[in-house]
């Protein structure tokens, strides 16, 4: 309640960092300093939902996604990963081996499997809804900002300095391509027609699935 009063007094200055919608009506938005808001009317009105999230330190909530099987996951600072199995009504914190910041979570295309990624190129993979985690080795130490899973199961993660990581084995391993421009990317969409949309410091562009060539 004290946090809600503080937020009301300070006004809408804190960044919102990610959004998820169950359907046309019900959704959640998460952000800095533990912000969580919920809507049940398609975004016309929002209610503070932070009380359902165990985040007493008000850590930044950087990403939210739903994985195959239906569970929701949030990625946060200080190694915090949160899980909901009731469409975001209630949340629980999940212990992970890494204590740095996670900037995103994605599913692998297989039920109950999830990837969490963030600082220094760290990627952790779980096959049991986050109960246990394995480190996935990569050849980068750059911050991974976002990821997306294509309809065909390809997983693409994007990172600082133009790094694009791709997995075709449900996140068990990744290959890396670094774009010559070295522009950092903060989001990615894997298209069904074998392409990508990359969004970053120079705007948005379309490439082939590897991230190498421009597409019209």
With beta carbons less than 8 A apart as the criterion, state whether 178 and 138 touch.
no
| Euclidean distance between CA atoms 203 and 208, whole angstroms | 17
**The dihedral formed by the CA atoms of 52, 69, 108 and 189, expressed in degrees to the nearest 10:** -70
Annotate 76-113 with DSSP letters as a single string.
ESTT-EEEESSTTSS-EEE--S--S-EEEEEE-SSTT-
Q: Name the one residue in this structure whose structure tokens are 């990172």.
A: 159
H-only helix segments in the chain: 2-10
**The dihedral formed by the CA atoms of 52, 48, 65 and 135, expressed in degrees to the nearest 10:** -50
Over its length of 216 residues, how does the chain's per-residue pLDDT go in tens digits? Answer: 676 676 667 656 689 999 999 999 999 999 999 999 999 999 999 999 999 999 999 999 999 999 999 999 999 999 999 999 999 999 999 999 999 999 999 999 999 999 999 999 999 999 999 999 999 999 999 999 999 999 999 999 999 999 999 999 999 999 999 999 999 999 999 998 779 999 998 899 999 988 988 765
Question: Which pLDDT value is given to residue 192?
Answer: 80
């Amino acid at each position: 309640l004290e946090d809600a009063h503080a937020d009301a007094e300070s006004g809408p200055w804190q960044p919102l960092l990610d959004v998820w919608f169950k359907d046309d009506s019900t959704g959640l938005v998460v952000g800095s300093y533990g912000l969580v808001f919920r809507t049940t009317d398609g975004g016309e009105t929002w209610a503070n939902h932070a009380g359902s999230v165990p985040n007493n330190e008000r850590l930044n909530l950087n990403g939210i996604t739903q994985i195959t099987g239906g569970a929701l996951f949030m990625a946060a600072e200080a190694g915090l990963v949160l899980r909901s199995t009731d469409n975001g009504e209630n949340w629980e914190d999940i212990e992970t081996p890494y204590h740095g910041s996670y900037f995103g979570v994605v599913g692998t295309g297989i039920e109950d499997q999830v990837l969490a990624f963030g600082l220094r190129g760290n990627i952790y993979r779980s096959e049991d809804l986050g109960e246990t985690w394995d480190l996935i080795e990569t050849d980068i130490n750059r911050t991974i900002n976002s990821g997306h899973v294509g309809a065909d199961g390809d997983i693409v993660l994007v990172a600082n300095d133009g790094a694009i990581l791709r997995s075709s084995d449900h996140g068990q391993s990744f290959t890396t391509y670094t774009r010559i421009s070295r522009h950092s990317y903060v989001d990615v969409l894997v298209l069904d027609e074998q392409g990508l949309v990359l969004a970053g410091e120079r705007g948005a562009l379309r490439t082939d699935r590897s991230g190498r060539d421009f597409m019209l």
